[in-house]
Amino acid sequence: MKIPKIVYKNNHTYTFIKQCNDNVFLYQSDLGFKEAFNKYDLGMIDNRKLDRKIGARTWNNAVYIVYDRLLEKEQEYTNTKKIAADLEVGQATISEKIRNHKWLRNRWFIERRYKDEES
């Protein structure tokens, strides 16, 4: 895809100056300020290519196992919203505990498994 010579962003006109590397391009605004844009900012790459490049993973096939230390049982959930409602905490807290492999209130341990990884 060709590099755009003129870009309109934030009510300013930017003119192409030079290419810094494979992903970054230097532009100068109509006020004389210089600013760098990457391929994503210029619309040269879309989200699907960016997600593939980063290796984004969807959680559609995830199963969440909640271990209860006091009752010595485990329960299976399909999303963190239901877990947050049952344990009366926020979804962000649930996600953080899963990511850091920590106990929630020294009682529950939440583990994310994928349906294709179950044995």
Which pLDDT belongs to residue 57? 55
Which pLDDT belongs to residue 119? 44
70 is a domain residue: yes
Domain shared by 44 and 67, yes or no: no
For 37-50, the pLDDT digits (tens) are: 988 788 877 666 55
86 is a domain residue: yes
Domain shared by 112 and 67, yes or no: yes
Q: List the single range of 39-48, 72-81, 83-92, 100-109 with lowest mean pLDDT.
A: 39-48
Structural domain that includes position 46: 6-52
Domain shared by 70 and 110, yes or no: yes
Rounded CA separation 47/92 (Å): 24
The count of structural domains within the chain is: 2
89 is a domain residue: yes
Strand order across the beta sheet in which 24-29 lies: 6-9, 12-19, 24-29, 34-38
Which pLDDT belongs to residue 23? 87
Rounded (10°) angle between helices 91-100 and 80-87: 110
pTM strictly above 0.85: no
1 is a domain residue: no
Domain shared by 36 and 78, yes or no: no
Domain shared by 24 and 68, yes or no: no
